[in-house]
Chains A and B, each alone.
Chain A
Amino acid sequence: DTGVSQDPRHKITKRGQNVTFRCDPISEHNRLYWYRQTLGQGPEFLTYFQNEAQLEKSRLLSDRFSAERPKGSFSTLEIQRTEQGDSAMYLCASSSPSGTPQSRGRAARNQPQHFGDGTRLSIL
């Protein structure tokens, strides 16, 4: 399976605990995204990496949330001092530019994001 993989699939923890999720993108993808999805809603953007650089963070990402992608491959999302409102599905997606170097900018924008199955977080 060469898709986006996330670990764990499910996480149940007590309020106040720290949790960390891992995402392994599709191997040739240099862009990686984290989203959060609650029941009946569409995914909400949290943050985005291009290689190891974190280029954008949503205002949803409070100071309890931190994401890293140290070697430009897998990424981790950590939530400290979890709260009830953190209960959600955390989705990771990756995408890649393609085409010649001259067209890469335009081609990059055409590449869809491919999602993993997510980590479902439940806070007790």
Chain B
Amino acid sequence: GQNIDQPTEMTATEGAIVQINCTYQTSGFNGLFWYQQHAGEAPTFLSYNVLDGLEEKGRFSSFLSRSKGYSYLLLKELQMKDSASYLCAVRHGGPLGGGGNKLTFGTGTQLKVEL
């Protein structure tokens, strides 16, 4: 089965750096995605890791350790508009092989950025 854990809530200060952790247990890991979701809106893609290491994309970076079943999303120079839910999602092998396609999401981390 699939199990994904991430903190429910975090609070940080504008301009600061925040790290959102995600641990997972899955059969057939095939990549980890981070999405941002504002209330009432669609999840929007932030980053993707399939190999170990750090992927950097502007103010956002994501890290993966497959051996530890661990990822984090790093947000730098926080802005008020970064207040949102951050969803960790694992893609795993499907029944037809070829890598599969469905995503299993964590419950999301609600980030609140304060002045």
Contacts and interface: CB of A to CB of B under 8 A. Distances in A.
Tell whether A and B belong to one assembly. Answer: yes
Contact of B96 (A55, A58, A112): A55
User: Which among A31, A42, A91 has the greatest number of chain B C-beta atoms within 10 A?
Assistant: A42
B65 interface: no
Interface residues of B, number: 28
Interface residues of A, number: 28
Interface string B29-41: 0110101000001
B113 to A, nearest CB: 19
B98 A105 contact: yes
A93 B50 CA distance: 20
A94 to B, nearest CB: 11
B105 A44 contact: yes
A28 to B, nearest CB: 16
Interface in A34-56: 35, 40-45, 48, 50, 55-56
